[in-house]
Amino acid sequence: MIKNLLLERICLIERRNANTKWPYRFAPNKRAEACSMFEQANKICEEAGELYASLYMAEGEQCVIDEAWDVIHATEGLLRKYSQPCVRYGLIKNRFKAQRRGDN
């Protein structure tokens, strides 16, 4: 049943977004485009480590925010390596998971 609901939502989103680009926050990153998926996953881990270090060292609010955006940017670089329908499906699954936890 949940799988059918997911597929229905994906179809609805696909129809709505048929003529629009996927709304990523950042422009494509040339370095991310040139590297493998594993290299990009390593970059995400590197950026996450920098985020953790900025929190641990109490480097200040702006530093933490900047590092958090770097993690998101690196993650988008990995997501762009997959097809838009797959990324949308993952997004919808993530939203359902959040709803089940009571986040929404």
Report the distance separating Cα 14 and Cα 64, nearest Å: 35
* CA torsion through residues 95, 98, 102, 104, sign: negative
**Has this prediction a pTM greater than 0.75?**
no
- Residue 73: per-residue pLDDT: 94
Tokens representing 16 are 């709505």
Report the distance separating Cα 15 and Cα 11, nearest Å: 6
Q: pLDDT band for position 84 (50/70/90)?
A: confident
Model confidence pLDDT, tens digit, residues 6-57: 656 665 655 555 445 566 788 888 899 999 999 999 999 999 999 999 998 8
- Residue 1: per-residue pLDDT: 60
Q: What is the mean pLDDT of residues 56-79?
A: 92
Choosing among 1.10.287, 1.10.3470, 1.10.1740, 1.10.1660, the CATH entry for 30-104 is 1.10.287
